[in-house]
Amino acid sequence: MQCVVLDIEGTTTPIAFVYDVLFPFARRHLAAFLGDATHREALAEPLARLRDEQQQEGDRPPGESTAAYVEYLMDRDRKSPGLKLLQGLIWKEGYQRGELKGEVFPDVPPAFRRWRAGGAAVAIYSSASELGQRLLFANTAYGDLTPLLSGFFDTSVGAKREDTSYRHIAAELRLPPSQILFVSDVTAELDAAHAAGCDVRLCVRPGNHAQPAHGYRVIRDFDQLTW
């Protein structure tokens, strides 16, 4: 195994941190962030993506305010690239002001170091934007973990429940899928990774959602992860 690719929510990080801390923070600061003229340049890309998505989806009127559309996406937990990029920008200010601190399970930092020492790269694949991923791992109580990570993949490579996404990740890592181990708390994502030829493990952490019947090997912390 040459690379361990990890999901974030429910795998490296408690689901509660995402839903009870990060998402509410983005919602609370949304209007002020959109209305701040100093953010005009940074907002250009996420707003363009949101406009394109709104037109393509056709499920909300194009003339609706950006804030209303973003809240609509948040209410439905949409894996919208425009939304995820915007959330990342809002979180960036929260991390910079010290209002946010990235949360990971205690077994995560030593596992990263152990895998790297053993010759395996470690990468992240999440529906959160690459920016959001980097911010979380750069600002943990255990320090900046990003030097231990070799790649950050978001939905620009494809949806997490599509096998082609994992083939794209393998190509980016310049590895055959058989040399990649993907770990997630969602069996539908494991189905896709397995179909692409990756080895997989189901991560069962406190607070994770129940999954349907499956035949995957289960780990409850990274100390149990072997290959």
Name the average pLDDT for the chain. 95
Assigned CATH class of 3-15+102-224: alpha beta
Q: 100-117: per-residue pLDDT in tens?
A: 999 999 999 999 999 999
By CB neighbour count within 10 A (0-12 exposed, 13-18 middle, 19+ buried), where does 97 fall? Answer: exposed
CA trace torsion 10, 89, 53, 184 (10° rounding): -10
- What pTM, to 2 d.p., does this model score? 0.94
Segments of the chain assigned to CATH 1.10.720:
18-96
18-96 maps to which CATH number? Answer: 1.10.720
Segments of the chain assigned to CATH 3.40.50.1000:
3-15+102-224
Q: 18-63: per-residue pLDDT in tens?
A: 999 999 999 999 999 999 999 999 999 999 999 998 888 777 766 6
